[in-house]
């Protein structure tokens, strides 16, 4: 298992973002396994672009939210923080309603950087977006990450 303190509490992770961007967009953490974590986001007026399709920026917010939380859950929070360094996204297929589901899996978890792949699918399991997210792992004693 990759998680620092055992399987993360999904309700607690959802509540963590309640008063910020993840909460505004309706992102919820829904499942976790030994080396992956999943969240969902509604495709609705908050997450669509003017043409009625899921906004690519909303997909990136979902990917970065999931990757950031995943990275943070694999390090000792008393000693380290994990912060976004770079993200990319390929938007493969539109989504128009329902939910999209994102699953994050680590590609590399090093001492100073982590790389995560985040696959976003529609309710039928069709690929909507694929993202790669790089995090910097920073020691808290360096003052770079708030507790």
Closest listed residue to residue 10, CA positions, set 27, 19, 20, 21 = 27
Is 121 considered catalytic here?
no
| Predicted pLDDT of residue 147 | 47
Whether this model's pTM surpasses 0.75: yes
Q: What is the DSSP string of the chain?
A: ---TTSS--HHHHHHHTTTSHHHHHT-EEEEE-SS-EEEEEE-STTTB-TTSSB-HHHHHHHHHHHHHHHHHTTS-TTTEEEEEEEEEEEE-S---SSEEEEEEEEEEE-SSEEEEEEEEE-TTS-EEEEEEEEEEEEEGGGT-S--
3 phi, psi to nearest 5 deg: -75, 135
Which one is catalytic: 28, 64, 86, 107? 64
Q: Consecutive sets of 10 residues in the chain, 147 residues long: mean pLDDT of each?
A: 94 95 97 97 97 97 97 94 96 96 97 97 98 95 60
Give me the pLDDT at residue 142, please.
Answer: 73
pLDDT of residue 146: 53
């Amino acid at each position: 298992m990759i998680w620092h303190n055992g399987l993360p509490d999904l309700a607690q992770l959802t509540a963590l973002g309640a008063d910020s961007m993840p909460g505004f967009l309706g992102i919820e953490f829904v499942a976790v396994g030994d080396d992956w974590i999943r969240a969902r986001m509604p495709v609705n007026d908050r997450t669509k672009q003017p043409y009625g399709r899921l906004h690519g920026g909303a997909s990136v917010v979902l990917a970065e939210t999931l990757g950031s939380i995943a990275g943070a859950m694999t390090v000792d929070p008393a000693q380290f923080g994990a912060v976004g360094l770079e993200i990319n996204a390929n938007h493969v297929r539109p989504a128009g309603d329902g939910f999209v589901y994102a699953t994050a899996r680590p590609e590399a978890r090093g001492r100073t950087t982590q790389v995560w792949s985040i696959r976003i699918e529609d309710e039928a399991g069709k690929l909507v977006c694929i993202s790669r997210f790089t995090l910097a792992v920073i020691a808290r004693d360096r003052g770079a990450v708030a507790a």
